[in-house]
């Protein structure tokens, strides 16, 4: 007999179906609740609310498990390139060599930006935040890809839009970096793989060829893979909900980029480095800053700590911490903030405040230190997160459209004034 949940409202009892996922996670299906009972549920921040059934990413916050399409993140980060993982997320299976080569070829073909897009870059002040530029530039792609505007796109339209966006994103991101330095843009190189090409456009020079260190490319691949999807987080839910209005892919992703920007979400990687720098400049007394993070009268939070769903450890943080040690050693970099980060982590993990609240380092606690070692300025960190998250956002948007999900439209409980008498302006 299928499992149900009972709900008592007044004199009546209602039976609600229970849904079981493939990893045995349970949900009470309340989709007919209002029709049956007249009641809605309320769950600020959606802490207990599933918005969809998804076959893309599985996450167990208690056990610290993260899988993309059934593959553990540890295996993918160890054995795959970012492009293979992007293919896996978007199309559902790992590619054969031939499929991967074809995917790479298509992406190389679409990597150039329309020359008119350079005018947008010219319009930004040199100190414009890269995330603001990124969401504008991604949205502006609609102007150059009319096929993306069809609210009922064919499968071919969708495929083309997906390929164009994946192909152009590294060019957009690297040109934002070049623009901030006042350096000439570097054009994509078809002979290079996706990540090497991105590093070439970001750090290359028009005056001479640069060698792209395979250690750097490896590190970048790993970071992008670890950020590639994370089920229904704030930015991904934004992409799905915006897309549910049949809004085009570019605009939906642009909205996701805006959601990612905040320091409680993707913006945390920038905030972590700024925090570590501040602690270093303040003399490096980590106990003082731990005490500030615990003080409820102080707004300071330990950035890069805590997570809505991970309540044991963040598996991505484990991989990143090791990668951080490896990369800094391989590149021969001695970053004093790494020492502060390790001391903070050690102190927090043995402090009852953090232990009781199950607060652990998240993916962003160490990622900024790696980005910095690779040569990226702090305000580019969240843009790199967006570059990594792109395949996940695309996969989630595509799944939402393919499942023909209804427009996202939560309800509310109204708590405002009731029936006020209108008073003419002269008498107010
Ligand atoms: N430092 C100090 N205290 C914290 C922290 C922190 N980083 N995070 C949570 N807490 C405390 C809260 O004050 C609260 O304490 P209380 O119960 O005494 O009131 C308790 O822990 C629960 O915190 P909430 O904010 O309710 O947890 P929520 O799940 O809503 O928030 C979040 C999760 C936003 C990630 C939070 O932990 C935080 O602000 N962390 C710092 C920012 C950060 O690193 N964000 C990146 C997340 S990863 C990502 O998006 C890629």
Q: Is the CB of 361 under 6 A from ligand 1?
A: no
Q: What is the pLDDT of residue 126?
A: 83
Which amino acid residue places its CA nearest to atom 20 of ligand 1? Answer: 357
Other Cβ atoms within 10 Å of 395 Cβ, number: 27
Name the token pair of 137: 């530039």
Which amino acid residue places its CA nearest to atom 19 of ligand 1? Answer: 296
Orientation angle between helical segments 82-91 and 194-203, nearest 10 degrees = 120
For strands 26-28 and 12-20, give the pairing. Answer: antiparallel
Q: For the segment 85-121, what is each residue's pLDDT rounded down to a tens digit?
A: 999 999 999 999 999 999 999 999 999 999 999 999 9
Backbone phi, then psi, for 396, in 5-degree steps? -70, -40
What is the fold, at CATH topology level, of the domain defined by 268-374?
Answer: Cytochrome p450-Terp; domain 2 (1.10.230)
Q: Is the pTM of this model over 0.75?
A: yes
Cβ(56)–Cβ(396) under 8 Å? yes
CATH superfamily of 71-261: Citrate Synthase, domain 1 (1.10.580.10)
Mutate which of 73, 231, 237, 306 for ligand 1 pocket (most atoms within 8 A of beta carbon): 306
Name the token pair of 274: 């700024």
The residues spanned by each domain of the chain are 4-50, 71-261, 268-374
Report the C-alpha gap between 359 and 312 in whole angstroms. Answer: 8
Name the token pair of 262: 């905040």
Backbone phi, then psi, for 59, in 5-degree steps? -140, 130
Domain 4-50 part of CATH 2.30.29 = no
- Please pick, among 229, 265, 307, 379, the residue that the annotation labels catalytic: 307
What pLDDT tens digit does each residue of the chain (428 aa) get? 689 999 999 999 999 999 999 999 999 999 999 999 999 999 999 999 999 999 999 999 999 999 999 999 999 999 999 999 999 999 999 999 999 999 999 999 999 999 999 999 999 998 899 999 999 999 999 999 988 898 888 899 999 999 999 999 999 999 999 999 999 999 999 999 999 999 999 999 999 888 888 999 999 999 999 999 999 999 999 999 999 999 999 999 999 999 999 999 999 999 999 999 999 999 999 999 999 999 999 999 999 999 989 988 899 999 998 888 889 898 898 888 988 998 999 999 999 999 999 999 998 898 999 999 999 999 999 999 999 999 999 999 999 999 999 999 999 999 999 999 999 999 99
Residue 282: alpha-carbon gap to chain centroid: 31
Instruction: Give bridge partners of residue 58 from the DSSP assignment.
Output: 67
Helices (runs of H) and strands (runs of E) counted in the chain: 18, 6
In 49-113, at which residue ranges do the beta strands (DSSP E only) sit?
Answer: 57-60, 65-68, 71-72
Q: For the segment 270-286, what is each residue's pLDDT rounded down to a tens digit?
A: 999 999 999 999 999 99
Q: Any idea what the Cα angle at residue 289 is, between residues 286 and 291, rounded to 5°?
A: 110
């Amino acid at each position: 007999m299928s499992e149900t949940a009972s709900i008592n409202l007044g004199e009546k009892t209602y039976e609600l179906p229970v849904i079981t996922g493939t990893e045995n996670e349970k949900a009470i299906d309340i989709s007919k609740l209002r029709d049956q009972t007249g009641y809605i549920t309320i769950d600020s921040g959606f802490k207990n609310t599933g918005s969809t059934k998804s076959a893309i990413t599985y996450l167990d916050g208690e056990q610290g498990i993260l899988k993309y399409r059934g593959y553990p993140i540890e295996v993918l980060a160890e054995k795959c390139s970012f492009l293979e993982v992007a293919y896996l997320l978007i199309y559902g299976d790992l590619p054969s060599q031939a499929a991967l080569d074809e995917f790479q070829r298509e992406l190389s073909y679409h990597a150039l930006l329309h020359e008119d897009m350079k005018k947008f870059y010219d319009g930004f002040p040199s100190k414009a935040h890269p995330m603001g530029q990124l969401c504008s530039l991604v949205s502006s792609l609609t102007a150059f890809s009319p096929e993306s505007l069809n609210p009922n796109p064919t499968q071919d339209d969708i495929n083309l839009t997906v390929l164009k966006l994946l192909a152009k994103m590294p060019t957009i991101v690297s040109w934002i970096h070049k623009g901030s330095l006042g350096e000439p843009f570097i054009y994509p190189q078809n002979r290079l793989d996706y990540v090497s090409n991105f590093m070439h456009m970001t750090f290359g020079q028009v005056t001479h060829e640069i060698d792209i260190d395979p250690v750097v490319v490896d590190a970048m691949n790993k970071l992008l893979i670890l950020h590639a999807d994370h089920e229904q987080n704030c930015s991904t839910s934004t992409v799905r909900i915006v897309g549910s209005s049949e809004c085009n892919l570019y605009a939906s992703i642009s909205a996701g980029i805006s959601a990612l920007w905040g320091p409680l979400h993707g913006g945390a990687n920038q905030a972590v480095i700024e925090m570590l720098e501040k602690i270093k400049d303040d003399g490096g007394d980590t106990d003082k800053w731990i005490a500030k993070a615990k003080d409820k009268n102080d707004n300071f939070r330990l950035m890069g700590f805590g997570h809505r769903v991970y309540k044991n450890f963040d598996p991505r943080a484990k991989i990143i911490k090791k990668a951080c040690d490896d990369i800094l050693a391989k590149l021969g970099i001695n970053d004093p903030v790494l020492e502060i980060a390790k001391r903070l982590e050690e102190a927090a993990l043995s402090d009852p405040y953090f232990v009781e609240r199950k607060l652990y380092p998240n993916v962003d606690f160490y990622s900024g230190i790696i980005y910095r070692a690779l040569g990226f300025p702090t305000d580019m960190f969240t843009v790199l997160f967006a570059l990594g998250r792109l395949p996940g956002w695309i996969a989630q948007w595509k799944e939402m459209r393919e499942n023909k999900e209804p427009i996202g439209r939560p309800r509310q409980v109204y708590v405002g004034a009731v029936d006020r008498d209108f008073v003419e302006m002269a008498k107010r």
